[in-house]
Amino acid sequence: MDTYSQYSPRYAQFIPDSRRAWLRLAVAVVIGSLGSVGMWSVVVVLPVVQTDFGATRGTASLAFTMVMLGFGIGQVVTGKISDRYGIVAAIGVGIGILGLGYVGAGYAPSIWAFNLLHFAIGLSSAATFGPLMAEASHWFERYRGLAVTIAASGNYVGGTIWPPLVNFGMQSFGWRSTHIAIGIFTAVAMTLALVALRLLMGAAVRRSHANAAPPRVDLRLSTNALTAVLALASISCCVAMSMPQVHIVAYCGDLGYGVARGAEMLSLMLGFGIISRIGSGYLADKIGGLRTLLIGSIAQGAALLFYLFFDSLTSLYIISAMFGLFQGGIVPSYAIIVREAMPASEAATRIGIVIFASVFGMSFGGWISGVIFDATGSYAAAFANGLAWNLLNVSIVLLLLMRARQRRLTSPLGRSAG
**Selection from 297, 371, 377 nearest residue 334 by Cα:** 297
Residue 335 has pLDDT above 50, yes or no: yes
What residues does 4 pair with on adjacent strands? 207
pLDDT band at 61 (very low <50, low <70, confident <90, very high): confident
Q: How far apart are CA 382 and CA 366, in angstroms?
A: 10
Q: What pairing do the DSSP bridges indicate for beta strands 217-218 and 405-406?
A: antiparallel
**What pLDDT is stored for residue 44 in this prediction?**
79
pLDDT digits (tens, 9 = 90+) for 97-144: 999 999 999 999 999 999 999 999 999 999 898 889 888 888 998 888
**Residue predicted with more confidence, 36 or 43:** 36
Cα→Cα distances 178→51, 57, 154, 314, 365, Å: 16, 21, 22, 36, 31
Q: How far apart are CA 320 and CA 235, in angstroms?
A: 21
Contact 117, 180 (CB under 8 A): no
Using left for φ > 0, alpha for ψ between -120 and 50, and beta otherwise, residue 342 falls in beta
What residues does 207 pair with on adjacent strands? 4
Contact 65, 363 (CB under 8 A): yes
Using left for φ > 0, alpha for ψ between -120 and 50, and beta otherwise, residue 137 falls in alpha
Task: Name all domains of the chain by residue range, CATH numbers in brackets.
Answer: 12-207 (1.20.1250.20), 217-406 (1.20.1250.20)
**What pLDDT is stored for residue 208 in this prediction?**
53
What is the secondary structure of 391-418 as a DSSP string? HHHHHHHHHHHHH-EE-----TTSS---
Cα→Cα distances 106→56, 179, 182, 189, Å: 19, 5, 10, 19
Residue % of the chain over a pLDDT of 70: 90
Arithmetic mean of pLDDT, 365-376: 85
Q: What is this structure's pTM? A: 0.78
How large is the angle between the packed helices 37-53 and 111-126, nearest 10 degrees? Answer: 180
Average pLDDT taken over every residue of the chain = 86
Using left for φ > 0, alpha for ψ between -120 and 50, and beta otherwise, residue 218 falls in beta
pLDDT digits (tens, 9 = 90+) for 162-176: 888 888 898 899 999
Q: What radius of gyration, in Å, describes the C-alpha atoms of the chain?
A: 21
- Listed in sequence order, the residues at least 6 apart from 152 whose beta carbon sits closer than 8 Å to its beta carbon are 32, 129, 133, 277, 331, 332, 335
Amino acid letter, residue 252: C
pLDDT digits (tens, 9 = 90+) for 275-303: 988 899 999 999 999 999 999 999 999 99
pLDDT digits (tens, 9 = 90+) for 233-260: 999 999 999 888 878 878 888 899 987 7
